[in-house]
Amino acid sequence: MATDVHRPVSPEAVPASETSQATPSTQATQAVHVAGLTRAFDGRAVIDRLDLDVRPGEFVALLGRSGCGKSTLLRILAGLDRDIEGTVLVPRRKAVAFQAPRLMPWKKVWRNVLLGLPGKPGRAVAEQALKEVGLDHRTDAWPKTLSGGEAQRASLARALVREPDLLLLDEPFGALDALTRIKAQRLVGELWQRRGCAVLLVTHDVEEAVLLADRVLVMDDGVIAHEQRIDLDRPRDITDPRFAELRAGLLERLGVDTAAEAA
């Protein structure tokens, strides 16, 4: 239950002095700097010497088949998993929306949104954040009475209200219907542009990745196996032929991976 937030997420075994010497120059120009990161569960390396850099204000989407270690990487970046080897530098202010909503069932929705915020902000702050995700009518509800998508949006509001420098989103739109999903995507896009924070979005939806991200990464075998810049102008149009081309390329990339797996 270590809760102190170190700026470098240092592996538990390595003394802090050893990691703090790691290239102060990258520290200044990157929102996330990961080098040679390894995380093993019971001897099996789920993340294996992974390198990753995210510029401040950059929107990065992370694709990869189920179980390839995306959530694991996100937990490490959030500073929640310290059983690691390698260098990880992350901003102090970061917020996470987990794959499962993880709301405290004993706190009303609005209290969940405000939980852990410094300086005792008023209820209006929570109401504003909930309104942005279209949940203002459920402000006073108990989390267990929310639908799956509502809980996910409450969790998203809880992450957004923190105004972080790094926003980590783990499939935040998974349980939403098509329309709410489009709204939520737009919301995250707007918030990102307004706040200028770096975003790492884990998703299974290639279209969503191309729609929102500056850069799409594909994770496989414990490393970033493929990288695709998305240089389309915003707001993006999914009917744009270049959009379709990028999406097809990524899909093929994912498909090639799975085909290689099967062989």
Partner 1 sequence: MSISHAPPGSSEPDISDIPDGALVKATAATPSPPDLEPLLPASSRRTRIPRWLRRTTGPVLLLILWQLLSATGVLTADVLASPGRITQVAGDLIADGSLSSAMATSLTRVAAGLALGTLVGTGLALVSGLFRIGEDLVDAPVQMLRTVPFVGLIPLFIIWFGIGEAPKVAIITLGVTFPLYLNVYAGIRGVDSQLIEAGESLGLSRWGLVRHVVLPGALPGALTGLRYSLGIAWLALVFAEQVNADSGIGFLMVQARDFLRTDVIVVCLIVYAFLGLLADFIVRSLERLLLQWRPTFTGR
Ligand X SMILES: Nc1ncnc2c1ncn2[C@@H]1O[C@H](COP(=O)(O)OP(=O)(O)OP(=O)(O)O)[C@@H](O)[C@H]1O
Give the one entry of ligand X, Mg ion, partner 1, none that residue 41 binds, where binding means its C-beta sits below a cut-off of 5 to 8 angstroms depending on kind. Answer: ligand X
Contact predicate 31/165, CB 8 Å: yes
CA 143 → CA 138, 147, 173, distances in Å? Answer: 9, 9, 18
Complex with ligand X: residue 69 or 149, whichever CB lies closer: 69
Complex with ligand X: residue 46 or 135, whichever CB lies closer: 46
Residue 43 sits in the site that holds ligand X (CB under 6 A):
no
Residue 99 sits in the site that holds ligand X (CB under 6 A):
yes
Residue 46 sits in the site that holds ligand X (CB under 6 A):
yes
CA 245 → CA 130, 189, 233, 250, 256, distances in Å? Answer: 36, 22, 15, 9, 16
Residues of span 63-92 touching Mg ion by CB under 5 A:
71
Give the helix ranges, DSSP H, for 21-146: 24-29, 70-77, 109-114, 123-132
Among 71, 87, 112, 152, binds ligand X (CB under 6 A): 71
Window contacting ligand X (CB under 6 A); options: 16-24, 68-76, 88-96, 188-196: 68-76
Site string for ligand X, 102-141 (x = CB under 6 A): ----------------------------------------
Residue 61 sits in the site that holds ligand X (CB under 6 A):
no
CA 4 → CA 92, 145, 196, distances in Å? Answer: 10, 33, 25
DSSP annotation of 56 reads T
Q: How far is 246 from 235, CA to CA, in rounded Å?
A: 16
Which residues is 62 bridged to in the sheet? 202, 217
Binding residue count for ligand X, defined by CB under 6 A = 11
Per CB under 6 A, residues contacting ligand X are 41, 46, 64, 66-72, 99
Per CB under 5 A, residues contacting Mg ion are 71, 99
